[in-house]
Amino acid sequence: MKNTPLTEKHLELGAKMAEFAGYNMPISYSGIREEHEAVRTRAGMFDVSHMGEFVIKGRQALELVQHVTSNDVSKLRIGQAQYSCLPNANGGIVDDLLVYRLPETGCDPGDQAFMLVVNASNIEKDWNWILQHNTFDTRMINISEETGLIALQGPRAIDILQPFTNMVLKDIPYYHFSKGMVAGEENVLVSATGYTGAGGFEIYALNDSIVRIWDVLFKAGSAFGLLPVGLGARDTLRLEMGFCLYGNDIDDNHSPLEAGLAWITRLDKGPFVGRDWILKQKQEGVRRKLAGFVVDDRRVPRHGYRVLDREGNAIGEVTSGTQSPSLNVPIGLAYVPSDLAVPGSALLIDTGSKTLPAKVVKLPFYHAG
């Protein structure tokens, strides 16, 4: 089991640790509900150094990234980021990821540069997938092992971070980034993408630098009610926003159209891996869709529970479920037939010992403000 550069910090803070994607990761510190509430109302800091980072650079870097991802990378300007996915040949999803258009500093004339941020459980899988499609004049560099990553999330994140950076954080729009100094550490990338719906920033730096940055921000953040936050609250926060988790809500067997990710699937951009299959599915119509639902009961829907229609016929399985700390109701996601993925549709969740009434709702579950 691997450690991140911040593992010792989590142990010092008394975090409950567990294996996740091959890493020893903090699940919670003071408790999932308390950490969740801190992010929604103040600020929370996550160690997400287990994520993978690949740099793609060269004369045809754009062509390679455009070929393997579903979104239109040609629209990105330097300093912008993009949510996308890696489709497989049959329209499923190899992984979802972020694509950063990097400055071309250090590149040869005419070269371009991108950073791809992938899920920890898929680092080797994604690397090999992209590598097998790299018939272009470009280089691939895996910087995952040397790169640390902190997510500072919540409405007070900007107040905590701004005194320690030369970047003007309010000038970094959503899905943009900047590079500069943070807490005395140079060449730090700060982005505004987020996975919580609470606003904030992601901080990428070398491993030694990320430890020092964590210490500075953790100390300064105490005045703003900052808490360290584990993967437990990260999951409840993302689920309240209806954000997908790879391996639960998206995988190799579900297409981006089925997962509600048509908005990152630009079929008009030209050829890319899986395009023909996805286009055919769009033309024929999607038979199943990922839908959000609220349970009219106190019991929580769990991953793998069967989903039934009103007549008791099995129509799908719960992909993610939790008790929403913000809404205080059980919520979940599931693939259901398209005609039942409409808000207001009645479902039943089979727990094995009890059947829970549920209703499809429009995502996100939680609306900030």
CATH number at 52-142: 3.30.70.1400
Q: In DSSP terms, which residues pair with 117 in a beta bridge?
A: 53, 98
Percent of the chain with pLDDT over 70: 99
Estimate the crossing angle of helix 231-240 against helix 32-41, to 10 degrees.
Answer: 60
Tokens of 22: 């091959």
Q: How far apart are CA 178 and CA 104, in angstroms?
A: 13
- Residue spans per domain, the chain: 7-48+146-240, 52-142, 287-361
Q: In DSSP terms, which residues pair with 54 in a beta bridge?
A: 116, 142
Q: Quick one: pLDDT at residue 51?
A: 98
Query: pLDDT per residue over 230-251, tens digit each?
Result: 999 999 999 999 999 999 999 9
Query: pLDDT per residue over 15-54, tens digit each?
Result: 999 999 999 999 999 999 999 999 999 999 999 999 999 9
Give the residue ranges of DSSP H helices in 42-177: 61-68, 123-132, 157-161
Q: How far apart are CA 296 and CA 311, in angstroms?
A: 17
Q: Quick one: pLDDT at residue 367?
A: 87
Q: Quick one: pLDDT at residue 110?
A: 77
Query: pLDDT per residue over 312-327, tens digit each?
Result: 999 999 999 999 999 9
Alpha carbon dihedral 98, 104, 107, 109, in 10-degree steps, equals: 130
**pLDDT at residue 305 tops 80:** yes
Alpha carbon dihedral 63, 117, 324, 31, in 10-degree steps, equals: 180
**144 three-class SS:** helix
Q: How far apart are CA 54 and CA 143, in angstroms?
A: 6
Which residue type does 239 have?
L
Tokens of 237: 């926060």
CATH number at 7-48+146-240: 3.30.1360.120
Q: Quick one: pLDDT at residue 279?
A: 97
Q: How far apart are CA 259 and CA 228, in angstroms?
A: 31
A 10 A CB-CB count for 308 gives 19
In terms of Cα–Cα distance, which of 122, 298, 357, 321 is closest to 238?
321
Q: Is residue 3 within 8 Å of 24, Cβ to Cβ? A: yes
**pLDDT at residue 105 tops 80:** no
Q: Which residues of 119-129 are buried (b: 16+ CB within 10 A; e: fewer)?
A: bbbbbebbbeb
Tell me which of 345 and 367 has the higher pLDDT.
Answer: 345
Q: Quick one: pLDDT at residue 20?
A: 96
DSSP 97-129: EEEEE---TTSPTT-EEEEEEE-GGGHHHHHHH
Measure Cα distances from 268 to 30, 90, 260 in Å. 48, 18, 18
Which CATH superfamily groups domain 287-361? Aminomethyltransferase beta-barrel domains (2.40.30.110)
In terms of Cα–Cα distance, which of 49, 23, 52, 19 is closest to 122?
52
Identical fold between 7-48+146-240 and 287-361? no
Q: How far apart are CA 127 and CA 283, in angstroms?
A: 31
In terms of Cα–Cα distance, which of 277, 198, 149, 162 is closest to 38?
198
DSSP 220-285: HHGGGT-EE--HHHHHHHHHHTT---BTTTB-TTS-TTTTT-GGG--GGG---TTHHHHHHHHHH-
Peptide bond into 364 cis (omega under 30): yes
**298 three-class SS:** coil
In terms of Cα–Cα distance, which of 97, 236, 212 is closest to 153?
236
Q: Quick one: pLDDT at residue 369?
A: 62
